[in-house]
């Protein structure tokens, strides 16, 4: 077996909603071997990887058996960073809630490549120069690479636009619309407490605009630079629409005149006009004031230029099952990227640097 044929040995770092789905995908993957699992919660330490990701049968590659109804992989979770560093893994799927640059650099220096659903590494030029220098030095020291990906940002803000613009010789504008129908999401703390649905309309929170620029701006800059059209600036704006009538949703009740839909736009500006845009629309009802053009949960991309395109991608999942299915869109992209990142030259590797990500399904 050549080095190229050998399965990649992978560590799953963190097992939250996305991490647990990623862990399951690694266990089931025909070309990946699970080397270890790092967890933050004391209650998860010592538990088998199969139990942590909800696998309950022996049909998956890498499974050694079932004990007491729980899947046994023979790999138990740890909170010991040194143990993880000593595994000699080829790649770490790094998926914590907060990015720790010290952790990242230690992993890279140890010889482990990183694929992460954290958004800090989509576009090196958007990073803090000091942080970028540290990470690049760690990659050089360990002969490793790091790549940020996911569904959004990632797949829809980078992979798809790169394909769509490959048919063009002139692009006047590209808009990525993301739609999410939240009417059946039973999360009142999120919708009412964090996102601000169900309250009187007011100014859009500046902190959310800043986070949007930070989250989606790097992808817009990456795409623009790949086209040879670097951006002059990034702008972010937000708007809301209100409920026309009283409406009951899974999270509670929206009264007439309260916020029932929100739209956040990040625009990449070149020569005084928007060249690229990412626009996220979250809504809890279609009966809005003013009326908005709404689509089902999913994405809609438009390209204007000498080869115009209008592409819709609907997520054909019942709303009541969306929370169950949606983590796969983010986790799977990262898992599929592992073997490409392991083969990449050392450094911070973007969607432009890597080959097209293809899934190995059998």
For 16-40, write each residue's pLDDT tens digit: 999 999 999 999 999 999 999 999 9
Q: To the nearest whole number, what is the mean pLDDT of the chain? A: 94
pLDDT of residue 63: 59
What whole-number distance in Å separates Cα of residue 272 and Cα of residue 270? 5
Mean pLDDT of the region 326-352 = 98
Share of the chain above pLDDT 90, in %: 91
Which residues is 244 bridged to in the sheet?
none
For 134-155, write each residue's pLDDT tens digit: 999 999 999 999 999 999 999 9
**Helix intervals (H) in the chain:** 17-28, 49-52, 81-85, 101-109, 129-142, 160-165, 188, 206-226, 322-325, 327-342
Read off the tokens for 183: 């009417």
Share of the chain above pLDDT 70, in %: 94
For 44-95, write each residue's pLDDT tens digit: 999 999 999 998 654 555 555 555 555 689 999 999 999 999 999 999 999 9
Domain limits of the chain? 8-151+327-348, 168-306
Supply the pTM of this predicted model. 0.93
pLDDT of residue 1: 41
Residue 127 has pLDDT above 90, yes or no: yes
Contact of 335 with 11, CB cutoff 8 Å: no
Mean pLDDT of the region 256-268 = 97
Q: What is the CA radius of gyration of the chain?
A: 22
pLDDT of residue 67: 53
Contact of 242 with 201, CB cutoff 8 Å: yes
pLDDT of residue 65: 59
What whole-number distance in Å separates Cα of residue 124 and Cα of residue 108? 16
Read off the tokens for 355: 């080959």
Pick one of 1.10.1200.10, 3.20.20.140, 3.40.50.300, 3.40.50.720 as the CATH number of 8-151+327-348. Answer: 3.40.50.720
Give 284's DSSP letter. S
What whole-number distance in Å separates Cα of residue 195 and Cα of residue 65? 44
Angle at 172 between CA 168 and CA 178, to 5 degrees: 90
What whole-number distance in Å separates Cα of residue 132 and Cα of residue 304? 34
**At 157, is the secondary structure helix, strand, or coil?**
helix
Closest Cα partner for 121 from 88, 142, 150, 143? 150
């Amino acid at each position: 077996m050549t080095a190229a044929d050998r399965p990649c040995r992978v560590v799953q770092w963190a097992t939250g909603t996305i991490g647990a789905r990623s862990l399951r995908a690694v266990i089931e993957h025909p070309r990946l071997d699970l080397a270890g699992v790092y967890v933050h919660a004391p209650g998860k330490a010592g538990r088998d990887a199969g139990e942590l990701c909800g696998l309950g049968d022996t049909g998956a590659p890498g499974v050694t058996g079932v004990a007491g109804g729980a899947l046994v992989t023979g790999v138990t979770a740890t909170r010991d960073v040194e143990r993880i560093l000593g595994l000699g893994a080829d790649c770490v799927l790094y998926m914590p809630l907060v990015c720790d640059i010290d952790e990242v650099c230690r992993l890279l220096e140890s010889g482990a490549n990183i694929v992460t659903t954290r958004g800090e590494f989509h576009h090196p030029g958007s990073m803090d120069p000091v942080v970028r220098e540290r990470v690049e030095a760690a990659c050089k020291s360990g002969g490793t690479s790091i790549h940020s990906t996911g569904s959004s940002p990632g797949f829809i803000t980078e992979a798809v636009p790169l394909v769509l613009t490959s048919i063009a010789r002139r692009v006047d504008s590209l808009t990525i619309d993301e739609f999410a129908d939240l009417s059946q999401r039973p999360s009142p703390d999120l919708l009412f407490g964090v996102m601000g649905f169900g309250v009187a309309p007011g100014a859009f929170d500046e902190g959310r605009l800043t986070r949007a620029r930070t989250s989606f701006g790097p992808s817009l800059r990456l795409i623009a630079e790949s086209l040879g059209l670097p951006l002059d600036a990034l702008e972010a704006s937000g708007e809301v629409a209100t409920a026309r009538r009283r409406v009951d949703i899974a999270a509670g009740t929206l009264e007439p005149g309260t916020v029932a839909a929100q739209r956040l736009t990040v625009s990449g500006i070149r020569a005084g006009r928007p060249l690229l845009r990412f626009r996220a629309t979250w809504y809890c009802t279609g009966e809005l004031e003013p009326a908005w053009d709404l689509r089902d949960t999913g994405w809609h991309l438009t390209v204007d230029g000498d080869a115009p395109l209008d592409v819709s991608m609907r997520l054909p999942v019942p709303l009541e099952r969306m929370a169950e299915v949606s983590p796969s869109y983010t986790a799977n992209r990262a898992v599929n990227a592992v073997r490409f990142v392991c083969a990449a030259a050392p450094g911070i590797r973007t969607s432009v640097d890597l080959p097209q990500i293809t899934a190995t399904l059998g």
